[in-house]
Amino acid sequence: MKKVLILEDEVSIRSFVVINLKRAGYEAIEAGTGQEALDRLKEHPDIGVAILDIMLPDIDGFEVCRTIRATNKTIGIIMLTARTQEMDKVTGLMTGADDYVTKPFSPAELTARIDALYRRIGGDAVGDGAEQRQGPFLLNTRNRTLEKNGKRIKLTQVEYAIMKLFMQNPGRALSREDILTSVWGREFDGELKIVDVNIRRLRIKIEDDTANPTYITTVWGFGYKWGA
């Protein structure tokens, strides 16, 4: 059974999420503090998706996210944010989260986001063995890895999906809507800024000069283009 970690210190919210995760066919691993969440991840290394609240009694969800990302690039991470806190969304994405859900949220919305992340985790056929080489980059769809000049670049699942989309469409201008639909799925009803934040993260990892990007260029008023 696919495992999902739910880190939420409010018992009523956590219980509500757990019930709906079980109904959707997931095994829910519960944590009420940041440290407890990190301990649960060590006990259950096969957890595929983690749902992290921001406001916690010990360490905040951003720090938990950073700690997880320092050792695990493949797990899907969803941040629970307050609807009015715009910076929480951006900060969560910049610390390594793949997605965010604003409170209050519906069980169907959260389940759809988890489903989408699990699809990305197993998105490439194991037998593909396909490699795509463009400029200094080598994308391996069997191992879901990216190298630049022979050096491995650590990517989250979302970053990998964006890179794969770009390298499959070299020289083509992709709108933010195109990227959002391809990477997050048609059911995603979040904001377009999630694309911009993830592009910013990717540029930090792959560009020689983030102030003057040459691989992922901006098509003003439209989206982005890959030009390796």
pLDDT tens-digit readout, 77-108: 999 887 666 777 788 888 889 888 888 888 88
**Alpha carbon distance 41, 102 (integer Å):** 24
Among candidate residues 150, 177, 179, the one with its CA nearest the CA of residue 163: 179
Whether the pLDDT of residue 9 is over 60: the answer is yes
Among candidate residues 5, 191, 8, 9, the one with its CA nearest the CA of residue 100: 191
R_g of the chain computed on alpha carbons? 17
| Rounded (to 5) percent helix, strand, coil in the chain | 40, 25, 35
Mean pLDDT of 40-49: 94
User: How many CB atoms sit inside 10 A of residue 129's CB?
Assistant: 11
The reported pLDDT for the residue numbered 128 is 46
Q: Which of 30-39, 135-144, 168-177 has the lowest mean pLDDT?
A: 135-144
pLDDT band at 124 (very low <50, low <70, confident <90, very high): low
Whether the pLDDT of residue 127 is over 60: the answer is no
